[in-house]
Amino acid sequence: MRQIQFNDQPTSIIGMGTWRIGEDPSKGSAEIQTIQYGLNHGITLIDTAEMYGEGAAETLVGEAIKDFDRQKFQLVSKFYPYHATPKLIKNSLEHSLKRLQTDYLDLYLLHWRGETPLAETISGLVDMKKAGYIKDFGVSNFDINDLKELYSVPNGDQCKVNQNLYNIGSRGIEYSILPWQKEHDISFMGYSPFGSDKNAYLHPQEIITDMANQKHITIFQLLLAWVIRNNDLLSIAKTSSLEHLKDNLGSIDVRFTDDELELLDKYYPAPTKETPLDVI
Ligand SMILES: NC(=O)c1ccc[n+]([C@@H]2O[C@H](COP(=O)([O-])OP(=O)(O)OC[C@H]3O[C@@H](n4cnc5c(N)ncnc54)[C@H](OP(=O)(O)O)[C@@H]3O)[C@@H](O)[C@H]2O)c1
């Protein structure tokens, strides 16, 4: 498995997403098997949230990981912006840990910005870190100005990751967010490499199919391989299917020539100016 330095430790370049997992009981055992296959085949990060199925995704992840060595993978969860005060963070975290059948999270993220002042949220997260319930914390769906503001509040510079949408059709973060995060040593997690369910947030053009055919890979392998092409960020992909997970793991070995990357840039250009953050 290809690894990158993420959250100050070697981590698989692909993580497993869990949005819309655990919601259909008839798929439960297949979903558990899929997560376990991923952990047994080198994936060392699982991403979840209290929002996903209102706890159902965390419950399913808890079942899947309970017999694994907890120190061998990172568990990331997120809390709602309307649970972002110190008291409510503690309450959400206690519920998440219970559902996940674990006693700590590696990373706890503010899912997106809400009304609570950042200073208050960070103070609650620092408390949870001191208490040992979380190893570290971060944010999600933060634009460049949000990140700068975060850095201006007490302990805001303890933020370890920002998780934003990133796929070939949504490249805005390349302009200033990614460089800024590198400069400040904040790891980047890209979500929805396939544009989410049914590619709803990415419209694969013919070039994707043509190039995938030429390279004898699937469209999904091409899309994921493109996101991780520079080895500088972690991509979280979701699947409920073991066959799809095996397919996605195949993207690790896919490499692009300079010509191929240039051709893709013509259809999906890199940003040349600041653009508002794309969010799902
Ligand atoms: N922080 C945030 O605000 C935020 C927002 C969105 C997502 N996320 C995180 O990022 C994760 C990934 O994003 P996402 O779930 O939106 O979408 P995604 O990973 O871009 O796409 C998931 C979709 O692709 C399908 N798929 C996956 N591999 C496939 C393959 N090899 N062949 C065919 N279909 C395949 C899945 O169907 P099957 O399940 O049937 O394979 C599912 O419909 C989420 O699960 C979540 O953990 C975070």
Share of the chain above pLDDT 70, in %: 100
Hey, is 60 helix, strand or coil? helix
**Mean pLDDT across 157-167:** 98
Q: Which mutation among 168, 223, 238, 254 tests ligand 1's pocket best, with the greatest number of atoms within 8 A of CB?
A: 238
Residue 209 pLDDT grade (very low, low, confident, very high; cuts 50, 70, 90): very high
Q: Which two tokens stand for residue 35?
A: 């997560």
Question: Domain 3-267 is classified in which CATH homologous superfamily?
Answer: NADP-dependent oxidoreductase domain (3.20.20.100)
Distance of CA 126 to the CA centre of its chain: 22
* H helix or E strand, kind and range, residue 4: strand 3-6
**What span, in angstroms and rounded, lies between the C-alpha atoms of 168 and 164?**
13
List the chain domain ranges: 3-267
Question: Does the pLDDT at position 201 exceed 90?
Answer: no
- CA 250 to ligand 1 center in whole angstroms: 16
**pLDDT by residue (tens digit) across 9-21?**
999 999 999 999 9
Which is the catalytic residue, given 52, 108, 166, 191? Answer: 52
**pLDDT by residue (tens digit) across 68-101?**
999 999 999 999 999 999 999 999 999 999 999 9
52 part of the active site: yes
Query: For residue 199, what pLDDT is reported?
Result: 80
Query: For residue 202, what pLDDT is reported?
Result: 86
**pLDDT by residue (tens digit) across 253-277?**
999 999 999 999 999 999 999 999 9
Nearest C-alpha neighbor of 183 from the set 169, 165, 162: 162
- CA 152 to ligand 1 center in whole angstroms: 33
145-157 core/surface letters (b: 16 or more CB in 10 A; e: else) = ebbebbeebeebe
Residue 204 pLDDT grade (very low, low, confident, very high; cuts 50, 70, 90): confident
Query: For residue 200, what pLDDT is reported?
Result: 78
The DSSP annotation for 133-181 comes to SEEEEEEES--HHHHHHHHHSTTGGG--EEEEE-BTTB-GGGTTHHHHH
**Mean pLDDT across 203-218:** 95
Query: For residue 150, what pLDDT is reported?
Result: 98
Question: Does the pLDDT at position 198 exceed 90?
Answer: no
* H helix or E strand, kind and range, residue 109: strand 105-110
Rounded (10°) CA dihedral 25, 27, 29, 30: -170
- CA angle, corner 49, sides to 99 and 11, nearest 5? 100
**pLDDT by residue (tens digit) across 99-110?**
999 999 999 999
**What span, in angstroms and rounded, lies between the C-alpha atoms of 36 and 46?**
11
